[in-house]
């Protein structure tokens, strides 16, 4: 994934929030919880300065979290990345397990969508024929 801007200039926390969709509070939380792969640089005044690599990593984190990856797994993944090469098999196991969970969620949602589509069809057919009265009417 690439950031929307390719500038080598350091980014403020507000700019990173805008690019990632995370709030400033969430960015601070990610830093506190060890979810970043490197330390966030600071100005002499203590303001956070992010790199495009930080933003790229955060965009991955956002997708992993949006897809339901538990924080503990995301934290472990970040820890593995921070440690560098030699643990790729463990990273793969972690990501593959998450992919399997996401695949199961997708399958369950597709089954739900199928039931909903069937029910929409039943109602549409009855309404088109003018025979909608009494559909799931508990008083009928």
Taking the whole predicted model, whether its pTM rises above 0.85 is answered as: no
Model confidence pLDDT, tens digit, residues 7-34: 579 999 999 999 999 999 999 999 999 9
> What's 8-62 look like in SS3?
CCCECHHHHHHHHCCCHHHHHHHHHCCCCCCCCEECCCCCEEECHHHHHHHHHHH
Q: What is the mean pLDDT of residues 103-132?
A: 93
């Amino acid at each position: 994934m690439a950031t929307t801007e390719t500038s080598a200039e350091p980014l403020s926390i507000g700019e990173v929030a805008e690019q990632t969709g995370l709030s400033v509070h969430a960015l601070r939380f990610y830093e506190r919880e060890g979810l970043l792969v490197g330390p966030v640089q600071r100005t002499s005044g203590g303001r956070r300065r992010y790199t495009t690599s930080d933003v790229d990593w955060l965009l991955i984190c956002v997708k992993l979290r949006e897809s339901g990856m538990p924080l503990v797994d995301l934290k472990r993944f970040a820890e593995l990345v921070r440690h560098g090469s030699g643990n790729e098999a463990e990273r793969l196991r972690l990501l593959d397990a998450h992919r399997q969970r996401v695949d199961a969620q997708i399958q369950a949602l597709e089954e739900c969508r199928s039931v909903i589509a069937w029910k929409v069809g039943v109602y549409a057919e009855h309404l088109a024929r003018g025979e909608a009265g009494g559909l799931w009417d508990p008083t009928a």
